[in-house]
Amino acid sequence: MKTRTPFDRHNLYISRRDKVVEIGSGHDPMYRSDVIVEKYINNNYHRCGDVKIYPHQQFVNADGEQLPFIDSQFDYAISNHVIEHAEHPDLFIRELTRVASRGYIESPSLIGEYLFPKKSHKWVILDIDGKLVFYEKALLGENYKHDYGGLFLNYLPYQSLPYKLLWYTEGALMLNRYEWKDGIDFLINPTDDFYRSFFTQPWSREMAEYLFPPRSLSHELKQTFVAIGHLIRGKMRQLSDKHNQLMTIEDYIKQANT
């Protein structure tokens, strides 16, 4: 079940003793992850760059829908912008919840997919009532012709403080950030008119308020100050970051063989 909506993957409830696996880390793995799983090593169709890894991490070449781990081998599983690519998200979720009791899933929301669509994304996803609701993108027709990912993913998050605050105060607008424990509630290609309408109809005021309930002024101010605090901590973390440099898979293999 869903436990909370973190600000981002640096705001997760992971303890020092937790053993962490990351599925599909691509070119930007979490330093905290102990084990990295990647399906495609030499093909960047599903990511923005070559696979990278930190020296302390273990690399496993495997499919997220068929993980080579025993049940409950890990305490925490991270999936950051991967599940929207999955051929069978139900199998992907089954494996996440099989190998770990807690975890974090992040993916573009429906609005996020409109703003920065990717051909490699098979699913559009919304977090509704604590469920991850998947709808096959092919069923929506040709609505994703222009990719604005360079602006909304690679420019504004690093150049605009107000835009960063939007991401943290209304994070679900463009991303699903789903921390879970003991299972994940989900639906795939729902036929129920209520859930289906969010993918197939223009949003009415009532639908928008259902996903983004009105908040009091005090709640808005609190959320804004908490978001600013998170931004400051993130900047301080970057300035004091003394982690080892990321390695390519080739360099990782060479190091492992020496």
163-208: pLDDT as tens digits: 888 878 887 888 899 999 999 999 999 999 999 999 999 899 899 8
Show Cβ contacts of residue 29 under 8 Å, excluding neighbours closer than 6 positions.
22, 36, 52, 53, 54, 57, 246
Confidence tier at 144 by pLDDT (50, 70, 90):
low
Structure tokens, 79: 């999936």
Rounded percentage of the chain residues whose pLDDT exceeds 90: 52
pLDDT at 90 over 80: yes
pLDDT at 239 over 80: no
CA 77 to chain centre: 11
DSSP 28: S
The overall average pLDDT reported for the chain is 88
pLDDT in the model for residue 99: 98
Domain ranges of the chain: 2-147+170-202+245-257
Alpha-carbon distance values, 235 to 10, 127, 218, 231 (Å): 12, 29, 26, 6
Mean of the pLDDT values across residues 8-22? 95
Question: What phi and psi values does residue 131 have, to the nearest 5 degrees?
Answer: -110, 145
Structure tokens, 31: 């330093």
Lowest mean pLDDT among 44-58, 209-223, 228-242: 228-242
pLDDT in the model for residue 236: 82
CATH of segment(s) 2-147+170-202+245-257: 3.40.50
Confidence tier at 43 by pLDDT (50, 70, 90):
confident
- Which of 26-35, 54-63, 68-77, 117-126 tops mean pLDDT? 68-77
pLDDT in the model for residue 64: 96
Rounded percentage of the chain residues whose pLDDT exceeds 70: 94
